[in-house]
Amino acid sequence: MTVAVAPTLAPTRSRLRPGDVLRVGSLGLRSRRLRTSLSTLGVAIGIAAMVGVLGLSASSQADLNSKIKALGTNLLEVAPGQGFGRGTGTLPDTAVAMTGRIGPVTAVSSLTTVTATVRRTDQIDVGITNGIGVFAADPGLLDTLHAKLADGKFLDAATAQYPAVVLGATAAQKLGITSVGDGLRVYIADKWFDVIGIMQPVAAAPGLDRAAVVGLVTAETYIVGAAIAPATIYVRTADGATDAVSGVLASTINPATPEEVQVSRPSDALAAQQAASTAFTSLFLGLGAVALLVGGIGIANVMVIAVIERRTEIGLRRALGATKAHIRRQFLTEAVLLAGAGGLVGVVLGAIVTAIYANTQHWQVVIPPVAILGGLVAAVIIGGIAGLYPAARAARLPPTEALRSN
Amino acid sequence: MTAALEIVDVVKTYPGEPPVVALDTVSLRVDQGEMVGIVGPSGSGKTTLLHIIGTLDRPTSGEVLLAGVATANMSDRQLSAVRSQLLGFVFQQFFLLDGMTALDNVANGLLYRGVAPSQRRKEAAEALERVGLGNRMHHVPSKLSGGERQRVAIARAIVNRPAIVLADEPTGNLDTKSGVAVMDLVRDLHSEGNTVIIITHDRELASSLPRRISMRDGRVESDERDVQVETEMAAS
């Protein structure tokens, strides 16, 4: 040790390096691990709830979005008007032809229920319908609905006139049919029909999943024995012209009594569902905020206790040259680190919950970056606020009082 | 000889009915390289004097100069700077932080001077070698004996090369043997040129110091130099 040389000038100011602020601020946390983990729990739960809610809501929105996209917002569904005195339950025979003449209409197809049962063989009792309905459609239906096939082919100009059938996804499953094989037949209305295709689930018309679809001419010839008036028409329009087409559809199809025609847009139902879910989101976000607040109070509480317990440490640091600001910074850093750790745990927890739930729902997992960032920022702010009072109290403590022996 | 410490007409009163006069017009001067004991029974004002010398408390009136630097008009922040650079404290209760090793505890002596961590550790290691604890650097305080803990605290007090080392009852929490070892160390530091002020109520300890300032009722009762001790220490 060298001899101390008395400086002649007033000393330069005390300073604590930024890295040391972090080191000093985390000391209390590192040396009391159990307390640290317990006191971060409140904030962690709060942030997890908020991230989870935002993640689930985003995932479900993304799912609805993809459904809407699959459906297309340019698809219109036309059905006979319902209710008292509103027509015959069918649309005019000319409906499909008339609709096709509207300029921006790119595709139009009809779908009509036919009263018949579908059975695997003729040995099965006619009462066992499996809930499968028979529909008559034209070959363009698949394209109009943007539906896809799981196997085989859809009806074409030829097969739409012969006893051939395309099964919906659920219908095929109920009948125990997984693929289209040579000579595979089902029994419809006392006739054998060749199974030529199986559809994937159809977003635009979920009713088709439980359907056996036959050609319009086939239905008229082999099942009903008479001309069939269309019950539902699906109309695909050019983008941006959907509203315009929607406005003229009713009077085009039935100029005499347009009120007997009901036009709807299937994607509207999903959009409404999307809007409804945001109401729940705000409710749960509120609950998360309450948990966060309670977590913040918990941290403030723990910090007040820490300041009381570590009185002599504060006195020692003041004797070593710490300014009031250094002491304040130390405890503020500690509170922010405590809450920040809670925030980090919360974000991870929230993301895990989202991933697990979204997977059970077969949604794609979406965790909005704003939820992750917002969660961390919220935790840090809560920590800062919770640490304000304890830190100020620690800084105010006079060194002589802090050093007084107990 | 330069004065390491000069206090002039220091009065400290604590408010109350009637006000308590803890220090009553105390003046004294300690030269650089001196080793001084401030002795007195409890209530004599010696702890208040230590706090005022250590700039942990301000006098009601009077002036305190540390290494020639007047502290009367300094802000709290400036006083903190004085402590970080001119003073080294040794406490009766050691006040080591449990969460860190002896080395890091000593390095804390340089923490508030903005010294880089690697440099702090390097100087702390030197200071620990100096107090004979080179082999205990990475022990936490709870794994050290009382005497070792106080030696770590002494290393922390000298790591910033202070103008004055202030020791408040440094042997008060130690058994006789450890106490003797600690005092030997303090004497070594003094013989190397460090200015040391020891506050104690232990007359026996005080009698081994070359200069004794006795306090009673807030006043300096006597200030005596022991020539015999001085020559003995110079000879050793």
Residue A387 burial by Cβ neighbours in a 10 Å radius (0-12, 13-18, 19+): buried
Q: Cβ neighbours of residue B45 under 8 Å, at least 6 residues apart?
A: B12, B22, B23, B24, B26, B215, B217, B218, B219
pLDDT band at B39 (very low <50, low <70, confident <90, very high): very high
d(CA A2, CA A280): 71
The pLDDT value recorded for residue A8 is 45
Strands of the sheet containing B164-168, edge to edge, are B87-90, B164-168, B196-200, B35-39, B211-216, B219-225
In a domain, A394, yes or no: yes
Domain containing A302: what range? 18-67+271-403
- Going by C-alpha positions, the residue among A8, A402, A25 that lies closest to residue B89 is A402
How many pairs of residues across A and B have Cβ atoms under 8 Å apart?
Answer: 139
Nearest to A6 among B74, B163, B192 (CB): B163
In this structure, are A98 and A40 located in the same domain? no
Chain B from 73 to 112: CB within 8 A of any A CB: 74, 76-78, 80-87, 89, 91-93, 95, 97-100, 108-109, 111-112
**A84: pLDDT strictly greater than 60:** no
The pLDDT value recorded for residue A144 is 84
In a domain, A11, yes or no: no
Nearest to B84 among A19, A31, A320 (CB): A320
Tens-place pLDDT, residues B84-108: 999 999 999 999 998 899 999 999 9
The pLDDT value recorded for residue B236 is 61
Beta strands A191-199; A149-152: pairing state: antiparallel
CB neighbours of residue B126 within 10 Å: 15
Fold of B3-235: Rossmann fold (3.40.50)
In this structure, are A86 and A54 located in the same domain? no
In a domain, A94, yes or no: yes
Q: How far, in whole angstroms, is CA A146 from its chain's centroid?
A: 22
In this structure, are A63 and A38 located in the same domain? yes
Domain boundary assignment for chain B:
3-235
Measured between CA atoms, how close is A324 to chain B, in angstroms? Answer: 7
B71 touches A at CB < 8 Å? no
Where helices occur in A222-265 by DSSP H, the ranges are 242-253
In this structure, are A126 and A38 located in the same domain? no
Tens-place pLDDT, residues A211-234: 888 888 888 877 777 777 778 888
d(CA A233, CA A237): 13
Tens-place pLDDT, residues B161-172: 999 999 999 999
Q: Cβ neighbours of residue A186 under 8 Å, at least 6 residues apart?
A: A118, A119, A120, A165, A167, A175, A177, A192, A193, A195, A212
In a domain, A192, yes or no: yes
**A5: pLDDT strictly greater than 70:** no
Burial B168-180 (b: 16+ CB within 10 A, else e): bbbbbbbeeebbe
- Provide mean pLDDT across the span A33-61: 90
Nearest to B76 among A319, A323, A405 (CB): A323
d(CA B205, CA B210): 11
- Provide mean pLDDT across the span A237-241: 79
In this structure, are A54 and A99 located in the same domain? no
In this structure, are A219 and A294 located in the same domain? no
In this structure, are A195 and A152 located in the same domain? yes
* Complex ipTM: 0.94
Q: Which of B57, B71, B80 to mutate to test the interface with A (most CBs of A within 10 A)?
A: B80
Tens-place pLDDT, residues B141-191: 999 999 999 999 999 999 999 999 999 999 999 999 999 999 999 999 999
In this structure, are A117 and A192 located in the same domain? yes
Which of A235, A264, A293 terminates a domain? The answer is A264
The rounded mean pLDDT for chain A is 84
In this structure, are A98 and A247 located in the same domain? yes
By mean pLDDT, which of A259-268, A353-362, A370-379, B69-78 is the weakest? A259-268
Which of A264, A292, A312 terminates a domain? The answer is A264
pLDDT band at A255 (very low <50, low <70, confident <90, very high): confident
In this structure, are A306 and A388 located in the same domain? yes
Q: Which of A2, A323, A324, A406 to mutate to test the interface with B (most CBs of B within 10 A)?
A: A323
H-run or E-run covering A345: helix A324-360
Please give the structure tokens belonging to residue A75: 């698809």
Which of A200, A232, A264 terminates a domain? The answer is A264
SS3 at position B100: coil
Chain A from 282 to 321: CB within 8 A of any B CB: 312-313, 315-321
Q: Cβ neighbours of residue B29 under 8 Å, at least 6 residues apart?
A: B3, B5, B6, B7
In this structure, are A49 and A165 located in the same domain? no
**A6: pLDDT strictly greater than 60:** no
Q: How many domains does chain A have?
A: 2
Amino acid at A156: D
Beta strands B3-14; B20-31: pairing state: antiparallel
pLDDT band at A2 (very low <50, low <70, confident <90, very high): very low
